[in-house]
Structure 1
Amino acid sequence: MSIGNSPDDDRPSLEDDRPSIGRVLQQARIDAGLTVDEVSSSTRVRIPIVHGIEQDDFSRCGGDVYARGHIRTLARAVGIDPDPLVEQYDDDHGGRPSPTPAAPLFEAERIRPEPRRPNWTAAMVAAIVAVIGFVGFTLFDGDEGKQNNRVAEGPAPDKKPSPAKPTPAKPVDPKPEPSDSAIAAVPKDKVTVKLSAMDDKSWISAKSHNGKLLFDGLLLKGESKTFQDDERVDLILGNAGAIELFVNGKRVDDQFESGQVERLSYTKGDPEVG
């Protein structure tokens, strides 16, 4: 009898060489130039849960359904596709949860009410009212026909129709001359900033001069946001290359690259980056 390794020891280990879900989310957040606080503020996912997911600890999520939802939300906030991460989570946790079966029909819906017996008294009253109404209408219609015949037999009045008065034409309001641009009508005593996501989505944050948060979240492709303040607007663009920027009615022609994080400030007058 020889002592050696079992056949199972010679099999190659089937370890998943993919990086963990938490490491992928953490690296994507760092590449986007975002902090955990900024991601938590934009997604409404609490900071301890964000830290836990980045450490591959899903115990704070409250179950598989909530964990899958948090993974999708965080992946979109840092600009990556959430589907591969959700599939990886399902592989690591026993597959996708089965849908909850529909509840049985409420038994009371199956009980049909007993048919009501006809109300003969109400039917008789309705028939009597209908007969009285028909007789009254017949008598009234006959008297009215006689009066109409008497009027028709009399001489027709000899009245000439008065000529119709011409309706005076309303003065046409002069059309306003079109301005050079609708954006040129922005108020000069305020700072006006318009952001439009042209080629891709971008996470943006906008604050007023006193630090008040005006917006914090994702601007999807094709969407636009406009912000105003009396003195200054501070911006953070997570994907500056996808943003078309107008400040105080003028387009900013700075060439931002895709995926580039930019921190900008604008005041009244000609757009100048602070």
Structure 2
Amino acid sequence: MSAVRVVGDFESTARGMSGDGEDGGDVSIGSELTAARERADMTIEQLSAATRIRTGLLVAMEADDFSRCGGNFYARGHIRAIARVVKADPAPLLASFDAEHAVEEEKARRDERAAAKGPTLHPARPRWAVVVGAILVGLMGWGMVRLFTLPSDIEANAGAKSTPTPAVTTPAPTPKPTTPKPVKPVKPVVPTKTKLTLTAKDDGSYVTLRDKKGKRLFQGLLGPGSTQTVTATGDIRISVGIPANLTITINNKRQSTKLYRFIAHPNGTLTKPK
């Protein structure tokens, strides 16, 4: 089937979704994706191999469930990748997707702003008038006590005899000789963790990252200009769709490769898996 025919079918179906076609019926994005795949004469497995999108996620998207895409950004990337494989124009589908999910994004932003606003607590202000009054009362009381006891203090001081205080001299301690401690040689620090940063360019690439035990650290489409950074103990296993569309940095060391599968090591190098 030619690319011109597929693009025409896409545009006509998209006009039907907006209500401008003769039938005027509403067609979901998932139905459009299914129709596009069938027009391209491809199965779910074939489309998954061509786009590197999991079959389960493709089935969910064709059922209008985009929640498993990891966000609207990745959902748009998947739609664009599918359209590229079936030789179709993704613009009508992306426009429909943005129109349907704009309300959900605005509601999510309002909820986040409402949750960020908490009750405002004002610190209690001290009652300065009470504090100043208490200080003045204390000073007045102290003055009255001194006024009535001052003559007695003078007489007592006049009759008292001064006794010289003997001076006591303490000899300074003799410092003990100190033996310098031997300096232990510092062993070079061997890195045990791997910090991997992938930056997408051109059309981006689909990426899967796993640690040395096989646990998935990240999986998804890196769109143009997007960056993904993960850190793990030991090696990180990487699978990419288009190596040329990625800039690779391992522990702040720039690397490049043409491999679709490789391993990043803590020492900043990458190797081909055995």
TM-score range with shorter-chain normalisation?
Answer: 0.3 to 0.5
TM-score relative to the length of structure 2 = 0.39
